[in-house]
Amino acid sequence: MSRHHLPSIDGWHTVAVGWDAGMNTFFAQVLDPVDEVTLDRGSPVDPINDPAEVINLVRDHVFEIPASMTDQLSADRDAEPHDAQRLAEVTALLTNLRNIA
pLDDT of residue 96: 81
Q: What is the pLDDT of residue 87?
A: 64
pLDDT band at 44, cuts 50/70/90? confident
Our CA dihedral for 71, 75, 77, 79, rounded to 10 degrees, sits at: 180
Q: What is the rounded end-to-end Cα distance, in angstroms, of the chain?
A: 29
Q: Find, among 61, 57, 58, 84, the residue nearest to 9 by Cα.
A: 61
